Structure 1
Amino acid sequence: MRRVVVIGATGHTGSYLVPRLVRAGHEVIAVSRGERTPHQDRPEWEAVQQVVADRRAEDAEGTFGERIAALRPDAVIDMICFTPDSARQLVEALRPTRPLLVHCGSIWVHGPAQRVPITEDEPRTPYGDYGLGKAAIEELLHRETLAGGVPSVVLHPGHISGPGRRAITPAGNMDPDVWRRLAVGEPVALPALGMGILNHVHADDVAQAFERALTRPAAAGSSFHVVAEQAMTSRGLATGVAAWFGRTPVLEFVDWPEFVDRVGEEHAAVTREHIERGIAADITRARDVLGYAPRYSSLEAMQGSLRWMVAHNQADVGGQFF
């Protein structure tokens, strides 16, 4: 049994992770802003110590790292670190006792792929504040481990899906009308001949990887991709979603200007962010070192999200059942 502090514990992945840790026999301290409850009401939460903290405010004051260190953790799972400065403060506070630090990164540490499937050893070419920040944090944590400081493990999830979270659509954006069109048989526009690559993963599979990282000493100092067994193309995902409703999708492959005209600049910008990277992430290292074994395919993770979205009035499938 280990004393595990989970930062961002009541978020989407944390809602799956914390019960897993309790069932595994760990003593769990859940740190969050206290503004929401886990989206899954599990009895394991009764055994969890809750700590309310506003990380952003306490980072600004330089006190958050010390607050976490004062909890005397054997391991810290950090789900919500987005800047190198925030990571540095936490590492410096943990350095005297050196608990294991498991950080939630992102496959967006990779820019446009040149070789697929892409491995963790591929040179980092991120862009955008989010990808650049996650890549810088990864570098900082690995330097710390190599220097004999706080041992760290970095996990890079793909597009996290499943009940409790809106999924990236087959068009690579958050446009809810994509679901309706696929459900009722209306045309769906896709750019790039529908060959854009998307790498979904169910939140419980991400939670599985974090749980395993706590008990794999060989993982320290390494990064791991955490995605479904296979990435899928936009047209493949659209075909799979339409099949849930007994349909063959009506797909219209359009050039980029027409796609922008049809879906709007906001949704088109999100699509471009997702598909231009072309990331099909390899999970061999996670299998070999962590024993990671994803339970859900990309489509199954997406279906869990859509069922939840429909039940919570966040998606309209035209009254269809699936």
Structure 2
Amino acid sequence: MAGMRRVVVIGATGHIGSYLVPRLVRAGYEVIALSRGERAPYHDEPEWQSVQRLTVDRDAEDAAGTFGARVAQLEPDAVVDLICFTPESARQLVDALRPTRPLLLHCGTIWVHGRAAGVPVTEDEPRTGYGEYGAGKVAAEALLLQDTGVPTVVLHPGHISGPGWPVINPAGNLDPDVWRRLATGEPLALPALGLGVLHHVHADDVAQAFEKALTRPDAVGSSFHVVAERAMTSRGLAAGAAAWFGREPVLELVEWAEFEKQAGPEHAGVTRDHIERSITADITRARTVLGYAPKYSALDALRESVTWLAANGHVDVKF
């Protein structure tokens, strides 16, 4: 990894890339940012002015069989792939990179673990996945951590939070009214006695882990959880969020049918997906090998998120 200078970031203007690209520029890397070009990064930082930005439709080029070659032609020392969701997409990329063997950093997800059987969940737990998304990530990771000829590190974020987009709330879904209820003291229904577990992470902490992985040769061939210091229960998150507004949460701990009735089927479905997993992800390996040190607690990350959502009219609360 000595002398590594040129880094290609795939999915560069998304949640993680918006923080990672400026970090890499400040660290002295030459950065080539690939994205669909449909929107600007979440944060307009001055470092973007020194980044080469290319508009690429990953899905279309994967279908045409040209994406891997497109990346390889950029002659990267390292590739950060933030938007790979299937083994077929991963295979096309590593096949194209094999002749030059740049370092590949792949973004997975803690959802490769499926429903938690014991906690904290380590990276060595069997991959059971959950749903089409989780299954695709499991298969991609399995492929990449074989002897593909391309040195690879896989990082598994939790529920990525930060200013600029909706985030998973204490009820385990994206309903903006949850934040209003906590801010105003209105009752909030929670299923499973409010003991469903969520493990958030600030997008900048995920970016920190990717940056560190570029300079940790011992990380190659391994996967790492990238989450906040502690997972939290729905009840704990609700109490923490209500405290931002000087309140105690007013919680209604209800059976599932009642929760679904109050939340509606769409939000309830998202809640079920999250609390059925109830993953507490261990970060010991990331601390030891990567030097990962999360700056944000789950509540810190959520407060930044909700502050932005409120300031931009997406949630009806006042700080």
TM-score range relative to shorter protein: over 0.9
Equivalents in 1 of 2:102, 2:147: separation in Å? Answer: 12
| Counterpart selection for 2:17 from 14, 19, 39 | 14
TM-score of the aligned structures, taking structure 2 as reference length: 0.98
Equivalents in 1 of 2:120, 2:194: separation in Å? Answer: 19
Measured after TM superposition, the shift of residue 13 of structure 1 is 1.1
Q: Could you list the per-position Cα deviations for residues 4-28 of structure 1 after superposition, in whole angstroms to 9, with x for gaps in the alignment? A: 0000001111110000000001010
**Does residue 76 of structure 2 align to residue 70 of structure 1?**
no
Measured after TM superposition, the shift of residue 39 of structure 1 is 1.5
**Does residue 97 of structure 2 align to residue 94 of structure 1?**
yes
Which structure 1 residue ranges, 4+ long, deviate > 2 Å from structure 2?
none
Aligned letter for 1:270?
A: V
* 2:115 counterpart SS class: coil
Aligned letter for 2:141?
A: E
Q: Could you list the per-position Cα deviations for residues 243-280 of structure 1 after superposition, in whole angstroms to 9, with x for gaps in the alignment? A: 00000000000000110111111110000000111100
Q: Could you list the per-position Cα deviations for residues 146-180 of structure 1 after superposition, in whole angstroms to 9, with x for gaps in the alignment? A: xxx00100000000001122110000000111000
Q: Could you list the per-position Cα deviations for residues 193-251 of structure 1 after superposition, in whole angstroms to 9, with x for gaps in the alignment? A: 00000000000000000000000000000000000000000000000000000000000
Q: Does the 8 Å contact 2:173/2:267 carry over to 1?
A: yes
| Paired position in structure 2 for 1:235 | 235
Aligned letter for 1:58?
A: E
**Does residue 117 of structure 2 align to residue 117 of structure 1?**
no
Aligned letter for 1:76?
A: V
Measured after TM superposition, the shift of residue 127 of structure 1 is 2.0
* 2:146 counterpart SS class: helix
Equivalents in 2 of 1:124, 1:141: separation in Å? Answer: 14
* 1:252 counterpart SS class: strand
| Paired position in structure 1 for 2:147 | 144
Equivalents in 1 of 2:264, 2:36: separation in Å? Answer: 34
Aligned letter for 2:311?
A: A
* 2:16 counterpart SS class: helix
Give unmatched runs, 5+ long, in structure 1: none
**Does residue 179 of structure 2 align to residue 169 of structure 1?**
no
1:232-271 alignment, distance < 5 Å: 232-271=232-271
Equivalents in 1 of 2:123, 2:164: separation in Å? Answer: 28
Seq. identity, %: 73
Aligned letter for 1:180?
A: R
* 1:276 counterpart SS class: helix
Q: Could you list the per-position Cα deviations for residues 268-301 of structure 1 after superposition, in whole angstroms to 9, with x for gaps in the alignment? A: 0000000111100000000000000000000000
| Paired position in structure 2 for 1:159 | 159
Equivalents in 2 of 1:127, 1:200: separation in Å? Answer: 18
1:297-308 alignment, distance < 5 Å: 297-308=297-308
**Does residue 38 of structure 2 align to residue 35 of structure 1?**
yes
* 1:289 counterpart SS class: helix
Q: Could you list the per-position Cα deviations for residues 21-48 of structure 1 after superposition, in whole angstroms to 9, with x for gaps in the alignment? A: 0000101000011111112111111110
Q: Provide the aligned length of Structure 1 versus Structure 2.
A: 316
| Paired position in structure 2 for 1:278 | 278
* 2:160 counterpart SS class: strand
| Counterpart selection for 2:62 from 47, 59, 62 | 59
Aligned letter for 2:67?
A: F
Equivalents in 2 of 1:144, 1:264: separation in Å? Answer: 46
Q: Could you list the per-position Cα deviations for residues 123-149 of structure 1 after superposition, in whole angstroms to 9, with x for gaps in the alignment? A: 11112010000010000000135xxx0
Q: Does the 8 Å contact 2:37/2:55 carry over to 1?
A: yes
Equivalents in 1 of 2:134, 2:57: separation in Å? Answer: 23
**Does residue 88 of structure 2 align to residue 85 of structure 1?**
yes
Equivalents in 2 of 1:271, 1:221: separation in Å? Answer: 33
Equivalents in 1 of 2:188, 2:147: separation in Å? Answer: 47
TM-score of the aligned structures, taking structure 1 as reference length: 0.97
Equivalents in 2 of 1:80, 1:123: separation in Å? Answer: 23
Q: Could you list the per-position Cα deviations for residues 96-134 of structure 1 after superposition, in whole angstroms to 9, with x for gaps in the alignment? A: 001000000000001111110000000111120100000
| Paired position in structure 1 for 2:183 | 183
| Paired position in structure 2 for 1:193 | 193
Equivalents in 2 of 1:122, 1:282: separation in Å? Answer: 11
**Does residue 221 of structure 2 align to residue 218 of structure 1?**
no
Give unmatched runs, 5+ long, in structure 2: none
Q: Does the 8 Å contact 2:58/2:67 carry over to 1?
A: yes
Aligned letter for 1:307?
A: T
Q: Does the 8 Å contact 2:31/2:52 carry over to 1?
A: yes
Equivalents in 1 of 2:139, 2:246: separation in Å? Answer: 45
More moved, 163-172 vs 69-78 = 163-172
**RMSD of aligned C-alpha atoms?**
0.7
